Homo-oligomer: A and B are copies of this chain.
């Protein structure tokens, strides 16, 4: 690992190739969505009913989460704030423009073209969120070149999995617990398994936070917290479904946050609060309500899910992350397995329960909109009856609740399998010698890839740590003995 880490040639060369490819593909394949096409507007179209006004508010909220929320959250290391925030910016930007193409090819392709509207951008941002979650597993130990390569491969792996699951297995997953959180988590773990650095298993001197970086990171958490209801509801059906999605997400986050404070205090030796818990564990409820976010699970169920997800996430950080690192050589830097994996599994299970318990008594005829695969198939007389009550109801597959539940299970396992495989393949490519991977010593240090200002001195860590209580040093990092 004494290979050069200069970005002088590598990064520009990679970007140049990517941009040329992108220009060619955009030129050949990308045109406007009907709602963005001037030619299709006429005296029948009402400008104010343009799909823009349904999608853009959610797109803008998710933008803030992706760029500001994640950016600040990932700037939590003392000497790695530039990298955390800026690599997030770079990776997200590339991931979205690449997902517009790849995901667009699977979801918005017809008449030989990808049709581009704000709805594609919104979908692409979800694909981008997948990459950024995976990034959490390897933050501090990867170069920007490696991150671009990760995005380059993860987006297609994700898009194919998403397409296959939605087209062939057909599931309910409004908040993306399965397709986003589980995929992102296990992909990231696959990558970090391959990039294993044995010498870092005992921790790294620079793997620490500062007063300012901790505050910045909490700000990131707050932005994610505030806009998470938009994230979880962006792709639900409009109307009451989206309304419930927002309520459940808010309630789940609330109970999760309260629980996180309690657990943080009770398991701290001196009965104090730990910032890493505030930064991460508080958010667990947002993931946990995901799979059933648009269903009639009742507000109290959202409250309970928040508590359960938070608890699992908290103990994951405490016991599972060290275990994974030591025994399974999976170094999960930000603990994505706790915040996205465990919570994703709970969420998926809750989703299955909600599917099994759904009845027309609770949902009325709109049950067949939410659980669209349970709607009667074409030709079934019940379909016509229902269409009188719910105009525009689409024919489904006539699945029973039990059948749908089995398909959900199948989706969970296929997604996990696909993501682990994809992550490991991607990890092998990221490990190639010309990827500017930092040496173990240079991990968690902005100096390596940035011109830093005069007041930056990462050797400071050796001076200040003398005054520093050992317990604190340890509590601020996650993946260690």
Contact = CB atoms under 8 A, between A and B. Distances in A.
Interface centre among A31, A39, A391 (most CB of B within 10 A): A39
Contacts of A476: 451, 453
Interface residues of A, number: 151
A19 B218 contact: no
Interface string A268-306: 101111110010001000000000000010111001100
Interface string A1-30: 000001111011001101100110011001
A45 B211 CA distance: 52
A22 B300 CA distance: 9
A210 interface: yes
Interface stretch (A86-94, A163-171, A328-336, A337-345): A86-94
Nearest to A96: B254
Interchain residue pairs A-B with the least CB separation, the first 8 = A47-B239, A8-B271, A6-B271, A454-B468, A15-B262, A39-B364, A7-B265, A26-B300
A300 B259 contact: no
25 contacts: A6-B272, A12-B265, A19-B258, A26-B303, A27-B300, A36-B240, A36-B247, A39-B296, A39-B366, A52-B246, A67-B225, A68-B222, A82-B218, A82-B275, A86-B273, A86-B278, A93-B254, A97-B254, A118-B246, A209-B453, A215-B216, A273-B450, A451-B471, A453-B472, A455-B464
A71 interface: yes
A472 to B, nearest CB: 5
Contacts of A467: 454, 457
B258 A30 contact: no
A384 to B, nearest CB: 14
SS class, residues of chain A in contact with chain B = helix
Interface in A226-263: 226-227, 229-230, 237-244, 246-247, 250-251, 253-255, 257-259, 261-263
A72 interface: yes
Contacts of A89: 218, 222, 257, 278, 282
A240 B47 contact: yes
A22 B278 CA distance: 21
A457 B93 CA distance: 38
Given A118-B246, A247-B116, A208 B8 contact: no
A277 to B, nearest CB: 10
Nearest to A363: B38
Interface string A47-90: 11011101011001101100110011001001001100110011
A72 B219 contact: yes
B226 A67 contact: yes
Contacts of A413: none
B464 A454 contact: yes
A452 interface: yes
Nearest to A63: B226
B242 A50 contact: yes
Contacts of A93: 253-254, 257-258
B52 A272 contact: no
A4 B71 CA distance: 38
A82 B255 CA distance: 21
A390 B144 CA distance: 50
Interface centre among A96, A215, A229, A461 (most CB of B within 10 A): A215
Contacts of A216: 215
